Amino acid sequence: MKLLTHNMLTSNIIKGVTKGYPLKIECQQIEIVETEFNKEFLEKMIPKIDYGVLCRAADQIGHLGDLPKVLPETSDYNEEFMKELHRVLLKVEIKEGNLVCPETGRKFPVSNGIPNMLLNEEEV
């Protein structure tokens, strides 16, 4: 699971959960996956992500690197920033672990890079 995916997942589908965001990460295995750099894609994604959540998640799993903790002004999206953003959003992949609801503590397993967000009948 890429951190881009993590940034968009919530557990607000669980009965009684009002926000369920951001999910905490319990990481057991991380893999760095090579992906082609696409500046245009990144520029389109920046307004759609919660940058603060992305930085906290990357820091939590030890992969913040040189990504600034505060989103630069649009005019400061230099090549170095965009490549770091690409690395954090698209190259860092959580292969095994759990995503944890911040309100209930419910754990959603991540197996082979795929988060399982299915609920039990009593949670709906």
**Residue 120 clears pLDDT 90, i.e. is over it:** no
Please report whether residue 14 resides in a domain.
no
Query: In the prediction, which pLDDT does 75 show?
Result: 80
CATH number, position 90:
2.20.25.10
Cβ atoms within 10 Å of 78's Cβ, excluding its own:
9
Please report whether residue 123 resides in a domain.
no
Query: In the prediction, which pLDDT does 87 show?
Result: 98
What is the arithmetic mean of pLDDT over 59-82? 93
pTM for the model: 0.92
Please report whether residue 119 resides in a domain.
no
Please report whether residue 124 resides in a domain.
no
Please report whether residue 120 resides in a domain.
no
Boundaries of domain holding 36: 3-9+19-114
Please report whether residue 74 resides in a domain.
yes
End-to-end CA distance of the chain: 24
Cβ atoms within 10 Å of 42's Cβ, excluding its own:
19
CA-to-CA distance for 76 and 114, rounded, in angstroms? 34
Please report whether residue 88 resides in a domain.
yes
Domain count, the chain: 1
